[in-house]
Amino acid sequence: MRELIVNTFLTLDGVMQAPGGPEEDPSGGFEHGGWSFGYWDDQMQSAMGESMSTPFDLVLGRKTYEIFAAHWPHSDDSPAVPFNGATKHVASTTREELEWENSKLIEGEVPDGVRALKEEDGPELQVYGSANLIQTLLEHGLIDELRVWIFPLVLGKGKRLFDDGTMPAGLEPVSSHVSSTGVIMATYRTGAEIKGGSFVPETPSEAELARRAAQEG
């Protein structure tokens, strides 16, 4: 069984929409496309190269597939070779054909199709972009690992990583590094418990009891 990994660029307030450029995804009137560009450094470049150094397949939503298919087959940048060579599994209800080499439509309902892909032999499955698809993957517990790069800015609006499909869950930290520009590059495993508790003493004060009574009223 192979694992599904989500790779996401994220603002401090959780926005993941259009980090790469103004024309990447202006849907919903989003005006801040390209917000990650000014923070890139050599350490981030090295980390990106490392994540692509082993074989992987891609799982993409339709919009991200179309963005990638319009760019990577025509690019000489370093990610072009692994992206073009990877098998692309695409979630779409509107497309019948996929022009980018090594691309396949996910058959049937997306959760069932992705679950079937995970049960196959092969390299790990990586997700890039695909905000809407990620909500489905979160809802159905199909994500094994999150590789999140958190950029030091807030945008206030835009598609978010943890949105309608998010279920309460704990995450297990695996690693974290900070770039020279303040980007936190963190990896988390899913499936951990939420470590709840309370800092309030077992015997609360009279003031605390009064506060609780007031809330109930």
Q: Which domains does the chain have, with CATH numbers?
A: 4-216 (3.40.430.10)
The predicted pLDDT at position 79 comes to 87
d(CA 40, CA 193): 34
The H-or-E segment that residue 52 falls in is none
Q: What is the pLDDT of residues 14-68, one digit of tens each?
A: 999 999 999 999 999 999 999 999 999 999 999 998 888 899 999 999 999 999 9
Handedness of CA 56, 57, 60, 66 (dihedral sign): positive
Tokens at 202, concatenated: 């077992």
d(CA 150, CA 16): 10
Angle at 23 between CA 10 and CA 4, to 5 degrees: 40
- Collapsing DSSP to helix, strand or coil, 113 comes out as helix
Tokens at 52, concatenated: 């692509």
The predicted pLDDT at position 13 comes to 96
What is the bridge-based pairing of β-strands 184-192 and 145-151? Answer: antiparallel
Range list of β-strands (E), 12-153: 56-61, 88-91, 103-105, 124-128, 145-151
Neighbours of 60 (CB within 10 A): 25
The predicted pLDDT at position 90 comes to 97
Q: pLDDT under 50 in the chain at which residues?
A: none
Q: End-to-end distance of the chain based on CA atoms, in angstroms?
A: 52
pTM of the model: 0.91
The predicted pLDDT at position 200 comes to 85
The H-or-E segment that residue 172 falls in is strand 170-178
C-alpha distances (whole Å) from 32 to each of 25, 38, 130, 133, 203 are: 10, 12, 17, 21, 50
Tokens at 48, concatenated: 């990106």
List, as one string, the DSSP characters of 13-30: TSB-S--S-TTS--GGG-
| Residue 73 DSSP label | G
Residue type, 5: I
C-alpha distances (whole Å) from 192 to each of 134, 144, 173, 195 are: 19, 11, 10, 9
